[in-house]
Amino acid sequence: MSAVPPGGVIDDGHDDVRPESRRLEAALRGLLLERGVFTEEDLRRQIAATGARTPLLGARIVARAWVDAHFRDRLLEDAKPALAQGFALDLEHTPEITMLENTAQVHHVVCCTLCSCYPRNILGVPPLWYKSREYRSRVVIEPRAVLAEFGTRIPPEREIRVVDSTADMRYMVIPLRPAGTEGWDEDRLVALVTRDSLIGVAHARDPEPTPD
């Protein structure tokens, strides 16, 4: 890949969806509307609700996990009940979600090799580069090179695990907590968690240096 702007592999403004997939979606949508499974207004509201979601909720979840070890352990063991209890989220009819904790030994990266499966109910709409064929194919084969293009360099002794989201299972990364944030509360920590760190292509932001 060529040089890229900070925070993305390549974002050329094109949604990498095959024409046949668009035709299939349109046909299925028309059939469901015709049969009254949902209405145009239902569809409009759902599209608007999905578009309004941002990675802020994911950042708040991570900040809570950083300061509350019990919550973090419950997230890693079974994310849905932990999120339902800790953030009052209704995830009953959504795909399963697994939280992946980055450590000094292991760094996780999320992709979807088939399409663009993504925890939209928590992170909103995925970035265009996440859906591109280039990212989906290359990150599996050469993850260190792809991460380097994001400006993320992983020490050779740290294992990189690439996980593949599916229609039935979505993933979100809990990045390493930045050094120098001891004693910070959740609200302050939220600002350090970026969308890219929740996917695993970047680290959480380091805190701003304290003026002398």
Q: Tell me which of 2, 21, 116, 197 is the catalytic residue.
A: 116
Task: List, for residues 84-136, the tens digit of each pLDDT value.
Answer: 999 988 888 889 999 999 999 999 999 999 989 999 989 999 999 999 999 99
Task: List, for residues 148-177, the tens digit of each pLDDT value.
Answer: 999 999 999 999 999 999 999 999 999 999
Q: Tell me which of 2, 21, 115, 132 is the catalytic residue.
A: 115
How many structural domains comprise the chain? 2
Angle between helices 79-87 and 56-67 (to 10 degrees): 100
Q: Are residues 127 and 25 in the same domain?
A: no
Q: Tell me which of 2, 21, 111, 117 is the catalytic residue.
A: 117
Q: Tell me which of 21, 111, 112, 197 is the catalytic residue.
A: 112
Kindly state the tokens that stand for 149.
Answer: 């293009």
Whether 115 is a known active-site residue: answer: yes
Cα separation of 87 and 79, whole Å?
A: 11
CATH of the domain at 184: 3.90.330.10
Chain position carrying tokens 């969308």: 195
Q: Are residues 79 and 156 in the same domain?
A: yes
Q: Are residues 58 and 153 in the same domain?
A: yes
Q: Which domain holds residue 129?
A: 54-199
Mean per-residue pLDDT of the chain: 87
Q: Are residues 119 and 63 in the same domain?
A: yes
Whether 165 is a known active-site residue: answer: no
Whether 117 is a known active-site residue: answer: yes
Report yes or no on 37 lying in a domain: yes
Q: Are residues 157 and 176 in the same domain?
A: yes
Kindly report the backbone phi and psi dihedral angles of residue 7, in degrees, each rounded to the nearest multiple of 5, phi listed first: 90, 5
Q: Are residues 70 and 166 in the same domain?
A: yes
Q: Please enumerate in sequence order all residues whose Cβ is within 8 A of that of 11, keeping only pairs 6 or more positions apart, or say none.
A: 4, 5, 127, 128, 129
Q: Are residues 177 and 78 in the same domain?
A: yes
Report yes or no on 1 lying in a domain: no
